[in-house]
Amino acid sequence: MSAADRSVSRRGEDRAPARRIVGAVVLVVTLLVAAAAVSQIIAVAQARSLAQGTPEEALAWRPDDARALGYRAEQEFTDAAASGRPPEAARVFARQALNANPLEVRALRVLAWVAADEGDDRRARRLMSLAASRSQRDVSSHLWMFHDRLKARDFPAAFAHGDALMRHPATFREAAVLMTSAAGADGAAARALGERLQTGPAWREIVVQELAASQRPDVTLSILLAIKDAGSPLTATESAVVATRLFREGSPQEAYLAWVLLLPPSGYEALGNVYNGDFDGPPSAGPFAWTLNRRAADIAPGSGRSGQALSARVTSSGEQSLARQTLVLAPGTYRLGLDARLDGVGDGRVEWSVSCVGVPVGPIARLPVKRSADWTPLATTFTVTGGCDVQTLELKATGDGASVWGWFDTIRIEAARAEG
């Protein structure tokens, strides 16, 4: 080996320990960085898990955790309110939380409470409004703003916060009651609620049901008419709530009028002494629409004719109601007519009847249906006397083992001259 080669070899041997030392240092530094990262991850996880229940322990793991600071501020405010001392500690923790995260909603809310406690309502409202605007899920800020705006009679703003509350299981019932109570007490609130309901929120039917149950029928009717006039279609259930309440309270004529007013425009074509007697009209609900025994009857394309018809298929034990509708016929003589196709009927009897509601007498009209291979017109006349203000039109199958398989259509009741 030449002298030059030996010199290069010695230099390589001299550098090897240095490279090993550098590699060891890099390894140690990498491990320290990794350990710090793991420690930080553990601290964040621990702070998160402890923030709500024991925020002071969470802060021991991570002193600048905004969520834990927010919970600690909330805790301090509650303790101060219970003991009667100034909420200064709550203010300090809330400000620290906002320094750590300017979007910390809980801290904004606590500062709003502190401002309200100190009599600065304007600042409290501004801070709470800011908190509510940053989170649709912060129930406390929306509830505070909801009550604040209700007291100020700023109903559009109040119901905007009510919208947020209606989307939470814990507060939707309270919000529904407060909104409907305000609407029942103040015409401006009723108009604002109607405007909010016109947008078709997912919770609209809940509020409509609450309105119908707790407020005067005229309040509910005016709100629903405003929704309808604004072009927001009412569901069948919404259209029937006022009529259902009035009917139960013993005002059938007023109930019928309210029900008619809330029908969709297409429903007026199906109006008559019998609503939707040809079964081609829009679906509806309430006492003046068809009520079907869904296990035995349905509205479906009619067999052997165009359009819809009432389909019945049942094996009856005893007496079974298949379909019925409430009527409000004035005293007079009428003709009940319909088309029927009864493909199958076993032992027993199938018939349509008209009876007086609340009057202990039998049916005032009976129209038996016989088996027929094709559509057959049937009719009978009957008389409604004074005192029979409300009637029921009903299809029944009677008799043990009575089986029905058939169709019914163009059911109508028309005024007729009394015989004799």
Kindly state the helix (H) or strand (E) to which residue 226 belongs, with its residue range.
helix 217-229
- Domain residue spans in the chain? 291-415
Q: How many CA atoms lie within 13 A of 71 on its CB side?
A: 18
Q: What angle do CA 88, 124, 73 make, to 5 degrees?
A: 35
Q: 337 forms bridges with which residues in the sheet?
A: 379, 412
CB 56 within 8 A of CB 71: no
Q: On the CB side of 231, how many CA atoms lie within 13 Å of its CA?
A: 0
Q: Which amino acid is at 215?
A: Q
What is the Cα–Cα distance from 406 to 387, expressed in whole angstroms? 35
Of the candidates 78, 83, 84, 79, the residue with the CA atom closest to the CA atom of residue 109 = 78
The CATH superfamily of 291-415 is Galactose-binding domain-like (2.60.120.260)
CA-to-CA dists, residue 152 to 146, 157, 306, angstroms: 10, 10, 59
The one-character DSSP state at 294 is: T
Q: Cα–Cα distance between 213 and 317 in angstroms, integer? A: 37
Question: Number of helices and strands (H, E) in the chain?
Answer: 14, 10
Question: Would you give per-residue pLDDT tens digits along the chain (420 residues)?
Answer: 565 555 545 555 555 565 666 555 555 444 444 443 333 333 333 334 444 445 555 555 555 677 778 788 788 888 888 888 888 888 888 888 888 888 888 888 888 888 888 889 999 899 988 988 888 888 889 999 999 999 999 999 999 999 999 998 888 898 999 999 999 999 999 999 999 999 999 999 999 999 999 999 999 999 999 999 998 889 999 999 999 999 999 999 999 999 999 998 888 989 999 999 999 998 888 889 999 988 888 998 888 888 899 998 876 667 788 999 999 999 999 999 999 998 766 666 789 999 999 887 889 999 999 888 889 999 999 999 988 999 999 998 876 655 678 899 999 999 987 554
Rounded Cα–Cα distance for residues 352 and 410 (Å): 13
